Each structure stands twice: as C-alpha cells, then as structure tokens.
Amino acid sequence: MNRRRWLTGAVATAATTLLSACGQAGTSLAEQARRMGEGLTRRTQRLLIPRDALAPTYSRAEISPDFRANGSIDPAAADYVALKAGGFADYRLVIDGLVERPLSLTLAELRARPAQSQITKHDCVEGWTSIAEWTGVRLEILLDEAGLKPGAKYIVFHCFDALDQREDGERYYESIDLIDARHPQTILAYGMNGETLPVPHGAPLRLRVERQIGYKHAKYIKRIEVVASFAGVGGGKGGYWEDRGYEWFAGI
Ligand SMILES: Nc1nc2c(c(=O)[nH]1)N[C@H]1C(S)=C(S)[C@@H](COP(=O)(O)O)O[C@H]1N2
Ligand SMILES: [Mo]
C-alpha cells in the first residue's frame, strides 16, 4: 500500500471511532474522515508552536453574531437546576485535591479577583469555529491562592452535566496540565460578549483554554480537583470524550 492509501485508511478507521463527535449524530463517514484529515494537519502544526505561545485574538467587529452552543446546553441534573433557579447565588466553586488550602468561592468572590477579557476563536472538532469575547479570572491566580502541593500535575474540571441528561448519567469532565493551566489566556469565564455567561454556554462558570480544541473547554464547572494522575478519574483517560476515543492533548 502506498502512503496515501494507508493514510486514507487510517483516517477512515479513526473516523469510525469518532461517530457522533461532540454529541452530534448523523455526520457522514466522508465528512468525519475529512475532519480527521484536518486533525492530522493540526497535529503537525502544533509540534512547531511553543506551548506558551498566545492564541490569536480578534476585534469586537469580528465577534460571531450567532456563536453556536454545543454538547450540553441546559443541564438537567437536580443540583444544577436548583442553583440555576436561585440565579446561582448559592453556587460555590470548589478547588481541592493536591492543594495546601482548599477553596470554596462564590461568584461574587470570583468577580472580586482581577478580571481578564479576551476575544478568541473557538474551534470545535466537528469543524466549526466561532469568535466571542470571554471575561473571567485567570486559573493561575486561583491555583496560587490554593497553593499546589508537590506532585500536583493535572487540573481536573468536574461538571454538572451528563450528556444523556440522566440523574445517574456520567457527568462531563476534562483535564489539562500545568502548562495550559498557567497559560496567560487560560481563564474561568463568567462573562461572554459583555454579558453574564448564558446557560447554553456553560453558566455560571466555564473554562477557556485557548490553545486547545473545543471539547477541552469545560462548561458548567462544579469542582476543580488537582491531581497527580487522572488515571483514577472517570474512565481514566482524562475527559468525557477522551474516555470515548478523543485525544487528551488537543492543542491548536
Ligand atoms: N460540561 C460540558 N462542557 C463542554 C461540553 C459539554 O457537553 N459539557 N461540550 C464541549 C464541546 S464539544 C464544545 S465544542 C464546547 C462548546 O461550547 P459552546 O456551547 O459555548 O459553543 O464546549 C465543550 N465543553
Ligand atoms: Mo466540540
């Protein structure tokens, strides 16, 4: 087999494992293969870009008028529904695990910390992109407040939503390493396009990790856990979609 045929075959095989990417069914195998091809280009590209480089930013005029909401858009879990009913007044972001000082912060407390805004492009593995302005607090600020213990290696984001909307369904989660966690554009966003973060986009708090692809950007964050290894979390692959075949490192 020549290299091109081998590549096409490999891409098609990989694509079949990715049917219903990001929870959207019905995409043709050819389309899935095309996207996997894009993924190969991206992987080559990212080998050449330093991890701490900034993601491109855009002007207000470039903000997408209709930023798509994807994956969970209105979690049905009872704890989330109760918090939402109260306007998230009782919401607490918990940061625990391998930290010296576990934190439990209200939204007001998060807003009282230095705020950062950035206009960036979101890039979903399904092949669409949208631009928005995100406002929040740098993750690094909170990690430094909590104080990482020796051995801390990954940051795990536990979310409120289960994609099947069942109370006992597996809840979304994601994880990143300390390079992405400390990246200057990595924020916990509570604002989008100058407004309070809307429910479809992850209210009350979501991750923006701008050098990574869409599924890494955990929405509906309930708890942040600092770990030495994510082998014992969920299915052990570091994220809801990673447990279903996606790559853990999805740098762009
Ligand atoms: N908690 C949670 N986070 C999530 C998802 C999800 O279903 N649940 N979907 C992911 C995917 S695949 C994408 S592309 C983005 C979509 O973010 P958006 O709804 O703001 O477009 O959120 C990511 N984070
Ligand atoms: Mo996505």
Check: CB of residue 245 under 8 Å from CB of residue 187.
no
- Percent of the chain beyond pLDDT 70? 83
Comparing 47-51, 208-212, 213-217, 230-234, the range with the smallest average pLDDT is 47-51
Residue among 79, 215, 221 to mutate when testing ligand 1 (max atoms within 8 A of CB): 215
Given the candidates 3.90.420.10, 3.40.50.970, 2.60.40.1120, 3.30.420.40, the CATH classification of the domain at 60-244 is: 3.90.420.10
Each residue's pLDDT tens digit, 88-131: 999 999 999 999 999 999 999 999 999 999 999 999 999 999 99
**How high is the pLDDT of residue 224?**
99
| Residues within 5 Å of ion ligand 2, judged at the Cβ atom | 22, 124, 214-215
Mean pLDDT of 183-206: 98
- The pTM (predicted TM-score) of the whole model is 0.87
Locate the domains of the chain by residue range: 3-48, 60-244
Q: Which residue has the higher pLDDT, 113 or 32?
A: 113
Nearest CA, atom 1, ligand 1: 219
Report the sign of the C-alpha dihedral through residues 127, 188, 166, 241, in that order. Answer: positive
Each residue's pLDDT tens digit, 33-67: 766 776 676 677 667 889 999 999 999 999 999 99
Exposed, middle or buried, 34 (CB in 10 Å: 0-12/13-18/19+)?
Answer: middle
Judge if the beta carbon of residue 218 lies within 6 A of ligand 1.
Answer: yes
Mean pLDDT of 180-194: 98
Judge if the beta carbon of residue 220 lies within 6 A of ligand 1.
Answer: yes
Nearest CA, atom 16, ligand 1: 70
Judge if the beta carbon of residue 238 lies within 6 A of ligand 1.
Answer: no
Check: CB of residue 231 under 8 Å from CB of residue 242.
no
